[in-house]
Amino acid sequence: MALHHRAPDLKNDTLLRALARQPTDHTPIWLMRQAGRYLPEYNATRAKAGSFLKLAKTPDLATEVTLQPLERFPLDAAILFSDILTVPDAMGLGLHFAEGEGPRFQHPVRDERDVAELVVPDMSDLRYVMDAVRQIRRELRERVPLIGFSGSPFTLACYMIEGSGSDDWRTVKIMRHARPDLLHRILDVNARAVTAYLKAQIAAGAQVAMIFDTWGGMLAHEDYLPFSLDYARGIVKQLSVPTILFTKGGNPWLAEIAASGVAAMGLDWTTDPRRAREIAGDRVALQGNLDPLALFAPEKAVREAARRVLDAFGPQPGHIFNLGHGIQPKTPIESVAALVDEVRAYSSGCRKRSAGS
């Protein structure tokens, strides 16, 4: 893993510098799901695409929505617009979205036979993703770095086994207890697939790789390492760009995540930035962690909340401002504008004040 992936042509390399824990003029900011339903222009493009999957699978449209938030707000990174479940979709599990519902798989992976049939997909079946990465890089014209991403092996397994989202992931947990060997076989295929997928995104131009472990935090304490982090760690080792790992609900395992080889760990809003900083020391950057719901407050409260987060992370280099989870569909756009403005103004002011003192 390169500590500071050199990108000499980049006009704004604040994100890459923060990932390498180098000083920056301001705290870089981007938002999980920044290309999303809170933006009317996103909804317009999605309507044009006809469906969410069509949007993700059409490089022109994926490029369009990836760039939309950057036109509105001075964000410090772009993140590839795609779906978290592209990889199991390419495995032939039959991903589809029922209207108003979450993702579903036609062929969930539940027994010995299902697992035996599972293979790492051919990356040519995911060419639409790499095409989007290439097109986004071209259209970004080196303004800011592009983050590629994948779901973690465990989070992909959750949907593959359950066949849909779930409140308690009962089928996954039953497999973990009744047939841990089967779960490990799925995770092994997923880890190899995600490695190939992220490598292909990097080859196509992604300058940072993010792994979303949305569901790792629902594992029992002793299960997170063997069933989630160990597989993510194996992937991180093989990538040539800085990696950010975000485990929602990952608070019980911060020390282990910090030691996993990632450049940065994403923190959800329940996590104490001061404790995370103590654990991470100067080895790992931190990303987060404003409560996405704080953006539903009046502008003054949004700005106050942003300052409190910045103060909690402190003046050391190595903080990337983000929400503690994806931005909510009905978030007021003015709140996002105020947030991005406040983070840049307050963090650059703090640096000037501490440089002058």
Q: Check if the beta carbon of residue 291 is closer than 8 Å to that of residue 329.
A: no
68 binds its own copies (CB under 8 A): no
- Which of 169, 197, 212, 321 is in the footprint of its own copies by CB under 8 A? 169
Find the binder of its own copies among 23, 50, 298, 349 (CB under 8 A): 298
- Specify whether 167 is catalytic: no
Q: The tokens 């997909």 sit on which residue?
A: 121
The interface mask with its own copies, positions 255-294, x = CB under 8 A, is --------------xxxxx-x-------------xxxxxx
What is the footprint of its own copies within residues 196-255 (CB under 8 A)? 217-222, 224, 249, 251-252
Contact call for residue 305 and its own copies (CB under 8 A): yes
Please pick, from the candidates 53, 259, 301, 350, the single residue that binds its own copies as defined by CB under 8 A. 301
Q: How many residues bind its own copies (CB under 8 A)?
A: 39
Cβ nearer to its own copies, comparing 14 with 331: 331
Least distance (Å) from its own copies to the CB of residue 325?
9
Would you say 24 or 271 has its CB closer to its own copies? 271
Q: Which of 30, 25, 200, 239 is nearest to 120 (CA)?
A: 200
In the residue annotation, 224 being an active-site residue is answered as: no
Nearest approach, Cβ of 338 to its own copies (angstroms)? 12
Q: Is 41 exposed, middle or buried (0-12, 13-18, 19+ CB in 10 A)?
A: middle
- Catalytic-role residue among 17, 33, 176, 277: 33
33 is catalytic: yes
CA-to-CA separations, 95 to 38, 120, 168, 338, in angstroms, rounded: 24, 16, 21, 37
Q: SS3 string of 258-326?
A: HCCCCCEEECCCCCCHHHHHHHHCCCCEEEEEECHHHHHCCHHHHHHHHHHHHHHHCCCCCEEEEECCC
Residues whose CB is less than 8 angstroms from the CB of residue 106 and which lie 6 or more positions away in sequence, other chains included: 93, 94, 95, 96
Q: Is 352 in the site for its own copies (CB under 8 A)?
A: no
322 near its own copies (CB under 8 A): no
Q: Are 227 and 187 in contact (CB under 8 A)?
A: yes
Q: How many residues are recorded in the chain?
A: 357
- Catalytic residue chosen out of the listed positions 17, 46, 233, 303: 46
Q: Could you say whether residue 326 binds its own copies (CB under 8 A)?
A: no
End-to-end CA distance of the chain: 36
Reduced to 3 states, what is the DSSP secondary structure of residue 86?
helix
100 counts as binding its own copies under rule CB under 8 A: no
Contacts to its own copies from residues 170-189, by CB under 8 A: 170, 173-174, 177-178
Nearer to its own copies, 134 or 185 (CB): 185
DSSP string, 9-71: T-S--HHHHHHTT---SS--B--TT-SSTTSHHHHHHHHHHSSHHHHHH-HHHHHHHHHHHHH
The C-alpha R_g of the chain, in whole angstroms, comes to: 19
Catalytic site residues?
A: 33, 37, 46, 83, 159
Residues that bind its own copies (CB under 8 A): 168-170, 173-174, 177-178, 217-222, 224, 249, 251-252, 269-273, 275, 289-294, 296-298, 301-302, 305, 308, 312, 324, 328
